[in-house]
Structure 1
Amino acid sequence: MAPVTNAREIFAAVPNGVSAAPRSVCCSLRLMSTARTPTGYPVPGQSIVHDTTQTIDLETAPLNGGVLIKTLVLSVDPYFRGRMREAHVPSYLPAFVLGDPIVGAGIGVVLRSECEGVPVGSHVRGALPHQEYTIAPSLENLQIIERDPKLSLSAYIGAAGMPGETAYMGWKEYSKAKEARRSRVYYDWCWTRGLIAKQAGLKVIASAGSDAKVAYMKELGADVAFNYKTSDVRDVLKKEGPIDIYWDNVGGDQLDAAMENANRFARFIECGQISGYNDNATPMKSPMLMISKCLTFNGFLVAYLRPKYTADFAADVVPKLADGTYKYQEDKFVWINKVGDALAAVLKGTNNGKAVVVVAEE
């Protein structure tokens, strides 16, 4: 078989006014990344560049004891923005390498294997370069998934994958829902948190940035759902609160509003602060409220909770997704050249469901 194109999505420039030449991509891309200065948001075609210069022979490419994987679906997540930085800037995850494909959760099918216990046709999930084909030296960062036929493959990088795990495991570890004195929880848009909170008997107050998302949260059973772009967050929380639990993935003014309208001893579960990912983050206005209201803040990374809760997640959540008890939405972007568009949608909040990129059919 003749070599085929191995299309890739290259990290070509750091957003927010810092650009640098990639180290392993063609000259035209190198000129593109140095000639343009991206804005605070990643710009498709500037920050992330579609590259078709690489080829691979699917029959003869050396595996050296590894596996050849055909990428099927890729997850696009808010944390990508934090990895689009200069390499020397510290964070909890390494920076994407300029000139290399970006890396994130994905699912592929094994085309060839020299790895014991990994048969051809296996579906594997884990950190994959955003390219059509990958030779993995081992399954160290991958796992074979046993797919429920009632679930799409993309669900395993969304509701049944890391995003679902984050919501479920963070809630289990930190909510202490049974201790909520007035049984009110406030959260940004997420199916898992809302459904689990309702199951715990809490009053659920939910916010989102579009009327479509608000309607969906109401469909899922939120007691109160509102558009924070058209409603005053403080007015809503003053009327419907005070709150005992706040799941925070937004930060900024919404975090301040939640603190102002929290009960004494309320718990704040800090998962992310997306409102500050693309510009200067808004500092907390009233940190003294943490003291005067005896608030508890728990920041967490899901990787540290997996050893404790992976089995529970598989038993409690995945079957409910498969039988329709738990609902979820996806925004599917077709083919790998849509990775940049998917990330822009996620960071600007224009997606209505979990953003996934469908790279290929089996």
Structure 2
Amino acid sequence: MSPVANGRLLFNEVPEGYPVPGKTTVYDESSKIDLEKVALQGGFLVKVLVLSIDPYLRGRMRHVEIATYIAPFAVGEPLANFGVGVVLRSESPAVKSGDHLYGIYPFVQYTVQNDAQAFRVIDNKLDLPLSAYIGVCGMPGETAYYAWKEYASPKRASCTSWVAPSDIADRLFTQGDVVFVSTAAGPVGATVVQLAKADGLKVIASAGSDDKVAFATSIGADVAFNYKTVSTRKILEKEGPINIYWDNVGGETLEAAIEYAGKGARFIECGMISAYNTKTPYGVANLINIIAQEIHIHGFVVSSLRSKYVEEFYSQFVPRVASGDIKYKEHLVRGLENAGEAILDVQSGKNFGKCVVVVAEE
């Protein structure tokens, strides 16, 4: 077989604001690969099938001198993120030809990998689309599941029977927690909405369009609203106080959540996309309320919780997705050459559901 083009999405330059397709990222087909003869050196050749587009990728598009929890992308090199691929050839005893592997891949069509332990073999006995394993059954679903288990401490409503001296039965009602989820139609937020409802809680959900609001309602949100047309503060004032806030956006929404937080509220800080593409992030003005309301702030990175919950996630949560108990929505983009546009869509909120780049069919 003659060498074939090995398309790549390269990180070309650090953006000033939103990443610009063709400028921040560039699709390149100059690289060639011989699928039959490329040296494996004890590793395995993978055909990349699907790649995940997530908000955090913007944080890796930065100058090398800016330190944070994850390394920046290298200029001139392919981007990388979670994906699923199929093994074409293998010299590794840990994987075999035909295996589907979930893990972090460069944004290329074909790649030789050497560390089998960095990937999870997907047997897919539940017959889910492979794209689900980079969405609700992958890192976004893990993010929601792990942090909800670790930090939410949900208190559901309860009724306690008692007998009055007159022998008249009555009941004492204790209201359960009120949860506010921002970006509630996204892959993480939508999963959180459903986890909260499964725990018997009242859920307030915000989203950026009317169709996203309708989706949040369809998966169980008790109060869903379009934050672009309705005041978040007014909704929280009416429906709160809130006991749990799942934060995906930061900024003004975080400020509103602090304003209407109940005593001892738990804030789960997952993302702050409102600050990713600006040099002047919104300054939250009411931080003193964190003290007054004894708010517990939990920032986290999903990888820090993975070892504690990963087997439980795959054995207990993924079957719920397969059974239809957990709903999800996908935004499919076909072709690696369109991945730059997909990245911009996620940063600007144009996607509806988990953004997946379909690199190739099986």
Q: TM-score, normalised by structure 1?
A: 0.92
The 2-side partners of 1:101 and 1:70 are apart by 15
The one-letter amino acid paired with 2:270 is C
Match of 1:156 in 2: 133
1:174–1:269 Cα contact (<8 Å) kept: yes
Match of 1:21 in 2: none
The 2-side partners of 1:260 and 1:304 are apart by 29
Pair 323,84 (structure 1): closer, same or farther in 2 beyond 3 Å: same
Mapping for residues 38-117 of structure 1, pairs under 5 Å: 40-117=17-94
The 1-side partners of 2:301 and 2:127 are apart by 29
Q: Deviations over 1:259-295 (max 9, x none)?
A: 1011111110001101000002212211100101111
The one-letter amino acid paired with 2:230 is S
Given the alignment, which residue of 92, 97, 118 partners 1:120? 97
More displaced 10-residue stretch of structure 1: 224-233 or 176-185: 176-185
The 2-side partners of 1:3 and 1:52 are apart by 12
The 1-side partners of 2:117 and 2:247 are apart by 32
1:140, CA displacement in angstroms? 3.6
Q: TM-score, normalised by structure 2?
A: 0.92
Gaps of 5+ in 2: 158-174
Match of 2:160 in 1: none
- Secondary structure in 2 aligned to 1:305? helix
The 2-side partners of 1:258 and 1:270 are apart by 12
Mapping for residues 246-325 of structure 1, pairs under 5 Å: 246-279=245-278, 280-325=280-325
The 2-side partners of 1:42 and 1:123 are apart by 31
The 2-side partners of 1:97 and 1:179 are apart by 47
In the alignment, is residue 168 of structure 1 matched against residue 162 of structure 2? no
Larger Rg: 2
- Secondary structure in 1 aligned to 2:289? helix
Given the alignment, which residue of 122, 135, 138 partners 1:145? 122
Match of 2:337 in 1: 337
Match of 1:25 in 2: none
Match of 1:226 in 2: 225
The 2-side partners of 1:135 and 1:336 are apart by 18
The one-letter amino acid paired with 2:245 is Y
1:182, CA displacement in angstroms? 4.4
RMSD: 1.1
2:156–2:199 Cα contact (<8 Å) kept: no
- Secondary structure in 1 aligned to 2:37? coil
The 2-side partners of 1:117 and 1:85 are apart by 35
The one-letter amino acid paired with 1:354 is K
In percent, how many aligned pairs have the same letter?
49
1:125–1:142 Cα contact (<8 Å) kept: yes
The 1-side partners of 2:176 and 2:231 are apart by 22
- Secondary structure in 2 aligned to 1:317? helix
1:150–1:323 Cα contact (<8 Å) kept: no
- Secondary structure in 1 aligned to 2:294? coil
Gaps of 5+ in 1: 17-39
Match of 1:193 in 2: 192
1:149, CA displacement in angstroms? 4.3
- Secondary structure in 2 aligned to 1:177? coil
- Alignment: residue pair count: 339
